[in-house]
Structure 1
């Protein structure tokens, strides 16, 4: 299990490095804030809303894609409503917090049933 985890981190970081090199070569420059902003929030939000647990566990790629669609719909809807940019982070974070809370409650409930 440890070998698989290390291999996953090595592959992920290698692909991130390659994508950074490709982005730099394509644009001929990189800004210090490249990849920053809401990218990480949306990635984690998509996985958690899709059903992947923050506390470890399993998830399916199909569910993460559906979670990504939910996040994209939230961001698009807030943009169409003309909501301020900071509220987009607050609302998306709230949805992520709600999804994580539901997951934690479901884990606690299933652990109490097993005992």
Structure 2
């Protein structure tokens, strides 16, 4: 694709939709980064405290990188950063490395 062309996007690219679907699947069934979140049952709080779910998706989508062809470049990294936020939420002793930057936890929208 020529970067000088105007591109009108009417839908998220298929690869991005797949990354979001898998992220939601892993998050919902408790298998999001099983090594990092071993023994932490975060799922019961996801619907009770909507702001946790909001932040988890914000981190995933803020970190997710997409190339010019709409292919995701780092879905695993984006999942891991979201899992780190969950781990820190349930384990105050856990140190996120590297620490979250402001852009990673920024909430977008109206």
TM range, normalised to the smaller chain? 0.3 to 0.5
Structure with larger Rg: 1
- The higher relative CO (CA closer than 8 Å, separation ≥ 6) is in 2
Q: Which has the higher helix share?
A: 1
